[in-house]
Homo-oligomer: A and B are copies of this chain.
Amino acid sequence: MRASRFLFATLRETPNDAEVISHQLMLRAGMIRKLASGLYTWLPLGVRVLNKVEAIIREEMNRSGSLEVLMPVTQPAALWQESGRYVEYGPELLRFNDRHHNPFVLGPTHEEVISDLARLELKSYKQLPINFYQIQTKFRDEVRPRFGVMRSREFVMKDAYSFHIDQASLQETYDVMYETYSRIFTRLGLDFRAVQADTGSIGGSGSHEFHVLASSGEDDVIFSTESDYAANIEKAEAILVGERAAPSQALQIVATPEQKTIADVSAFLGTAAEQSVKAILVQGNNDADGNTTVVALFLRGDHELNEIKAEKHPAIASPLTFATEQQLQQLALPAGFVGPQGLVEKGITVIVDRAASVLSDFVAGANQVDHHATGVNWERDANYTEVYDLRNVVEGDPSPDGHGTLQIKRGIEVGHIFQLGTKYSEALACKVLGEDGKPSTMLMGCYGIGVTRVVAAAIEQNYDDKGILWPQGIAPFEVAIVPMNAHKSPRSLQAAEELYAELQAAGFDVLLDDRNERPGVKFADLELVGIPHRIVIGEKGLDAGTFEYKARTDAESSNLDKSALLARLQQSRVK
């Protein structure tokens, strides 16, 4: 591509409304422009990246044996009513009527449509397993779209849906998708982690998220220093460590006036936060008579409740809801000063986090306003109903697989694979005849990649103060050639044209920067846009038989002769 025939739409200033770096750089590099809240036009530079990402995904999905389909963006509301999600999905599901007043939705996802297709087209177990994918525009009416294409309303997704006669087959395809996703993100040149994720209310046995690691990521990604173990924060298990020491202190009630937080109390008492427990009072499931109940959760003072884990406990209401003031009053529990002492005796279910359960001589609320208890010990001073994993892991926790300790990094979720089981196939009656000749409800898996999101995530992971640092496989151009004084030096221009032709013939995606601009402007643009290799051609180099080469990540340029230059470029593709 000749730069003079391309649209360079670089901006020197950072637009005001762009909060995250990828949004800023995509605007500044001229990859996208905002059309309306959460709606972006992809400019030529952005489309080049998007197409490369799509091509890698399509190639690997085809290789995996998945079959490409294309489903409509507009979907009849009736299918969503059938699955129950017409109500469940909430206002992110954009609904409208067509000219004949028939209700439709703009598809945020396609489980319903593919299930409808599967129940019509799949008749026998012999057609299974089968895995359909598409790369397609989706719409989610975010209440507050932001971060550019990272959380836009319209976006491109690769979504896939597999159908199976049994769990073993689902697991097999799931494993193939895990490998396929790993290959995809590797080929995209991204530092990523596949982490175990919670399957939520669907249940089912398997779910992994694929996160691109980036300090700006919204999610915590947990992984072991010494093994393959990786999980998201919702899922990562905090195992029981150590044993409880015998009590050595007597229980004492201490006045702690105006000490509200764990930090306040610890400072006031001169103890460490990890030597205290905090109470979290939540709604339990109703009792046999239909009365509301309260469940008391106790965690170490320095630990954080993991709501997803808590919700899974059969005694606790889901979604997790805090106990009301009225409930606390009825139980005579003073908010902010609740301790475990005597709660079980009041008929309250007391669930203690594993780490809190091995404390001795700890600080807790005294169940009395403005007072705490010190020297509290389980069993001697306070009973509990059960010990349970209730907290978020923290860095340094032992890995649940017994190998190494846990590290935490920030990640951006770009892919998700999920064993849906029969959630949709049950609701939409997706059955095939099994080997025994009887109708059998198919099992489903679903597998998504946020294609437009991947582009933003790649930038969040790869940038410096000058602009983007594209992984070569998805760079808008791999190499830029800059002839110096092209409009005055026919010799530079001719040498540039020759190299341009040669590199293109060698299969490189090359930009010849033939714009009538100062070198400084060109260099700044090329760095902002993030082209991995830059070759400057000038009279001096031509005299010496060298080219001025600089990788985007190099601090300085080096003068290379043609064979060294070509070797350097070829090498960059190998890694």
Contacts and interface: CB of A to CB of B under 8 A. Distances in A.
Contacts of A91: 99
Contact of A44 (B69, B72, B96): B69
B106 A6 contact: no
B41 A99 contact: no
Given A42-B71, A43-B121, 9 more contacts: A7-B121, A33-B121, A36-B102, A40-B72, A41-B72, A44-B69, A73-B154, A74-B139, A98-B141
B41 A113 contact: yes
How many copies of the chain does the oligomer comprise? Answer: 2
B68 A47 contact: yes
A344 to B, nearest CB: 46
A43 B70 CA distance: 7
Interface in A123-182: 127, 130, 132, 136-137, 139, 141, 143, 153-154
Interface in A298-333: none
Interface string A389-416: 0000000000000000000000000000
Contact of A69 (B43, B72, B94, B153): B43
Interface of A: 5-7, 9, 33, 35-36, 39-44, 46-48, 50-51, 65, 67-76, 91-92, 94, 96, 98-99, 102, 104, 106, 113, 116-117, 120-121, 127, 130, 132, 136-137, 139, 141, 143, 153-154
Contacts of A73: 73, 137, 139, 154
A41 B42 CA distance: 26
Question: 8 closest pairs, A vs B, by CB?
Answer: A96-B96, A44-B67, A42-B70, A39-B72, A36-B76, A91-B99, A47-B68, A41-B71
A44 B65 contact: no
Contacts of A5: 65
16 contacts: A6-B67, A7-B67, A7-B121, A7-B130, A35-B113, A40-B72, A41-B71, A44-B68, A44-B69, A46-B70, A47-B68, A47-B70, A48-B68, A73-B139, A94-B98, A137-B137
A35 B65 contact: no
A44 B74 CA distance: 19
Contact of A154 (B43, B69, B74, B130): B74
A46 B121 CA distance: 15
Given A67-B7, A94-B98, A74 B39 contact: yes
A521 to B, nearest CB: 14
A36 B72 CA distance: 10
Contacts of A136: 137
A172 to B, nearest CB: 14
A41 B96 contact: no
A35 B69 contact: no
B35 A76 contact: yes
A51 B71 contact: no
A130 B9 CA distance: 13
Contacts of A44: 67-69, 132
Contacts of A74: 39, 106, 139, 153-154
